[in-house]
Structure formats: structure tokens, C-alpha cells
């Protein structure tokens, strides 16, 4: 399946994520995840966990945020620099920065959420081994 991040459930999820509507992003991506196969399934699960983490943060649950970001990073780190057109390396780096902020208890209110940059180099869609 070739991902299209500008339309359908993936696109709507990306729009919601970028708008800070993390629960809605999670729901859109989950509908794609349910019908997906590996390696896309685990990748989507990582993105869903990132969205769920920031939904928890919006609700004041920093412990849940940390836990979900840690699990998401473990899932996403196994993928190449770009997977399904998403810049995975940058995303994992930003997740790591958020984890450091949460671990040290530093303020996160003015921090931007990790960006989901898409449309990476063509032909870079396989999972790391």
C-alpha cells in the first residue's frame, strides 16, 4: 500500500495531528492500522502512540505521555531514515528531546510538538533489519 498523506484517513490524521487534535489523529490512523500488515502496521502503531502521548499531555498526564513516547520511539527507531515518506530520524530525535524535557520536569508549554515531515526520498520505504 502506497501511503497518501494528503487525503483519506492518513491525510485527515495528519491534519488533526498538526492542529493539535491528537485524539482525532489517533482515531484516523487507527482505522488504517486495523487493516495494515507489517512493516506498516508497527510503524502506524508508533505514530498512533505519539498522537496518544500528546493527548495525554493535553489532559495533564505527563507520566502517560512519557510512557507512550518511550514505546513509540522503540517502535519507530527500527525504521530507516524515511519510511512511508515520513522523516523517521527527525521524528525520533524530537521524541527524544521531549522525553528529556519530561524527565527533568522542565516546562513544555512553549515547546512545539514533534513534526511529522512527509514526502521523503523515493524508494526508502523498507524497515531496518
The reply to whether 44 falls in a domain is yes
pTM value is 0.88
112 is a domain residue? no
- Whether 121 maps to a domain, the answer reads no
Range of the domain at 37: 8-104
Asked if the structure places residue 109 within a domain, the reply is no
**pLDDT of 31:** 94
Q: How confident is the model at residue 123 (pLDDT cuts 50, 70, 90)?
A: very low
Tell me, what CATH number does 64's domain have? Answer: 1.10.3450.10
- 40-44, 53-57, 71-75, 110-114: least confidently modelled range: 110-114
In a domain, 119, yes or no: no
In a domain, 2, yes or no: no
| Residues ≥6 apart with Cβ < 8 Å to 15 | none
Cα angle: 119, vertex 70, 122; to 5 degrees: 15
124 within some domain: no
Q: In the chain, how many domains are there?
A: 1
Residue 51 lies in a domain: yes
Q: What is the pLDDT of residues 63-117, one digit of tens each?
A: 999 999 999 999 999 999 999 999 999 999 999 999 999 988 876 777 889 999 8
pLDDT digits (tens, 9 = 90+) for 76-90: 999 999 999 999 999
Amino acid at each position: 500500500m502506497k501511503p497518501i498523506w494528503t487525503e483519506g484517513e492518513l491525510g485527515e490524521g495528519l491534519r488533526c495531528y498538526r492542529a493539535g487534535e491528537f485524539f482525532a489523529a489517533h482515531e484516523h490512523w487507527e482505522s488504517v492500522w486495523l487493516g495494515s500488515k507489517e512493516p506498516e502496521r508497527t510503524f502506524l502503531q508508533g505514530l498512533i502512540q505519539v498522537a496518544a502521548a500528546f493527548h495525554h499531555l493535553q489532559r495533564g498526564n505527563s507520566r502517560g505521555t512519557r510512557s507512550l513516547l518511550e514505546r513509540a520511539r522503540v517502535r519507530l527507531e527500527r525504521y530507516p531514515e524515511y519510511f512511508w515518506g515520513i522523516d523517521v530520524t527527525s521524528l525520533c530525535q524530537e521524541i527524544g528531546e521531549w522525553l528529556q524535557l519530561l524527565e527533568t520536569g522542565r516546562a513544555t508549554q512553549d515547546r512545539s510538538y514533534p513534526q511529522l515531515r512527509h514526502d521523503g526520498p523515493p524508494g526508502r520505504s523498507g524497515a531496518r533489519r
